[in-house]
Structure 1
Amino acid sequence: MSAHHTSGHDAAGHEIGLATDHEPHGTLKEYLIGFALSVVLTAIPFWLVMGEAELSKQVIAFTIMGFAAVQMVVHMVFFLHMSPKSEDGWTLTSLVFTLILVVITLAGSLWVMYHLDSNMMPRHESRQQL
């Protein structure tokens, strides 16, 4: 889909191209669906923490992170209008590339810190006997 261009002139009299076609924004229905999903995806983790659910802290933490990841996707789809069709897929491609770099950076940092801790930190015999 190519943008329809008209010509105009800047202050110096040079001809410039002006795009007249814009990609459509979301409808009210899409915004309301996104809002409702965001509220639900916020309320459930809030209830898990404040309602003192009978789950271990690790399960609650991973559940909250899962809901946070789903909520990020909801925001990107319903509010930022990211899809494979938007901007010929470049928006989604750059997002995926960014996520890959973040995962590599975080995983590498954790790996390096773990191995530095296990290989470089001195272990005291007196601490292990207590």
Structure 2
Amino acid sequence: MIDIESQVLEEAIYRLQLEIRQWVLIDAIIDNEMSAAVSAGGQRDIVDLGRSIRKAGWEQFPDWPGDYRLLSLWAASDECRTITLSGAQCELVLSALARWAAVADRADDAESGRVAKRNAQSKRRHALS
């Protein structure tokens, strides 16, 4: 039996206009998502889809430096480019962005908590001296 919803999503094509810095972030997040999938037991579908997303970017940005150390020399970070992705690729990009934003928020919250605790301890020490 064919899952019509999945087939429609896979056949959908989206043209996204992004600033280069946005694509660089997406590329890095998809790389993280692929690594997490491997660590979680090799979710091959996510790895394959992630690889196809990154490859689409590299192919559609022919001047992509390929070496992250050279990104600062690449086109202006606010230059806009258009990238074409399938519906399934867009779905993974959006879910990965949401997932890693939540991870970053938790990390920020944890760091904020540590800073607040250090500040409170410092104030307590000063109050007692």
Give the TM interval when normalised to the shorter protein: 0.3 to 0.5
State the TM-score, normalized to the length of structure 2: 0.35
As a proportion of its length, which structure holds more helix? 2
